[in-house]
Chain A
């Protein structure tokens, strides 16, 4: 029988624990495919975050670290300085990267650290049960913004791709989404470019990925994709913000 769809070799044979309709699984697969396609598997390590993707070390069949909340870019820095001819990526959520780990990500970019960051922006703290993230939209109801996020009270959502693209050490910064096939295809191309940026030793690279969390958005998987398209993309424009 002809095989038309199979597990990528860089993924382990362990089922994802993600909710139905979650974006994490889609992105994991793309990261694994890119590592495979670039032929860098034996020299690649990853750093899993604290967040729903915390078990990523069970899924990616490469050397993996698990970092404390927000510290993945610092851990990746330590690895990269020891193995400058190897490749390392961090995989981080919006609470991890855009809140508790802002210092680490900003300074990894600022040093032009030759690492690749995959940043999952789902406008929520998924793992801890749907609290407000720095990326939650104005008006968005979460378990800690039950009346909807108020910009007077806690500011407007933070745009990390734009912010990090202003830093000289950033060599490639893009924002993508996984809400439809066309965007998923673009997303994979961006992930590949980000890894290629690291291979070419150009500097820091990051792909921010708008990703659904149906569970904590209180929506069905299909509604979640719609909500992402109608609410997130207008505030978080897709595209390439920096490419050197």
Chain B
């Protein structure tokens, strides 16, 4: 299929539709408005439904309702709106409902700014809402990768009955890149016998009770154990990571999303000069590619690790946990939506080599 030049937000929306998403609920916020705008045009054409909710709180609860009813449903927002969704994400995780949530991160805290940022890493990866749960978190670094991820995101959500977060940033949403969209007129959907699709007491399908309340301590514990067991399987089977020129590297960079692209440019430039540096790019932030990071940095050749972020050091904590002290870990990053430059990264690497 031919490549098409598309804006990130629109490409993601189309990829979601190709993955079987037929319901979208959202509230406008920059820099992701092209997602609801695209969905409002396209979903009616494929027999789906777009609804502009009165708030992000309502939007995520509509996703709960639609996902609970057996449909593939999605919402998207940007940082402040994602904060409002946390109550719903926690509910959806507990009620074991599949859902896909796109966050085109912008600068925070508070209203922050409207430029790309990576400040919501902790919120996405470490919980965000209350209670013992996880969401699967994908961190795409190009528009093509985001598109390819949407099918996987909906499949993962359905397979594990879990919320899935696409943690992209305003750059992914706003820039244009050539993409190849896989057309899928008849996406396959798994059976959902647990969904609310109507209950006949004479039938075989059990009555659906979609619930996040387990008032007895033992019952809540049973739920958490069930979720935990599922999380263990996810950790075994769903980790995605790119290790780029890490073999025999002297310095290993760690970065995700659009920042990883800048890092890759630095790696390429240095590699050309014969300087051995590589990049570990987590594609799933949860489950985290702990082993891949550890293996890459534990090589004898590695002198140091540099984590690069567009935030104040959040990925850094997971990198440190994965490195587990075997090599020194340094941090380079700025909040306020300041993208690190190739030159800046190269300069920093050269300093690390001298040390």
Contacts and interface: CB of A to CB of B under 8 A. Distances in A.
A78 B88 contact: no
Contacts of A241: none
Interface in B285-323: none
Contacts of A86: 198
A71 B57 contact: yes
Given A43-B198, A62-B207, A68-B87, A82 B54 contact: no
Interface stretch (B64-72, B110-118, B180-188, B345-353): B64-72
Contact of A79 (B69, B199, B212): B69
Nearest to A74: B61
A75 B198 contact: no
A55 B216 CA distance: 12
A57 B54 contact: no
Interface residues of A, number: 35
Interface residues of B, number: 40
B211 interface: yes
A75 B62 contact: yes
A63 B87 contact: no
B209 A78 contact: no
Interface in A1-56: 9, 41-45, 47, 54-55
A209 interface: no
B25 interface: yes
A79 B209 contact: no
Contacts of A67: 61, 64, 91
Nearest to A9: B201
Contacts of A55: 213, 215
A136 B67 CA distance: 36
Nearest to A47: B65
A151 interface: no
A37 to B, nearest CB: 16
Interface string B183-199: 00000000000001111
B49 interface: yes
Contacts of A63: 196-199, 207-209
Contact of A62 (B23, B88, B95, B199): B199
B63 interface: yes
Nearest first, the 8 A-B pairs at minimum CB distance are: A78-B65, A74-B61, A78-B66, A107-B54, A78-B62, A82-B69, A63-B196, A75-B65
Interface of B: 23, 25, 49, 51, 53-55, 57-59, 61-71, 73, 87-88, 91, 95, 196-201, 207-213, 215
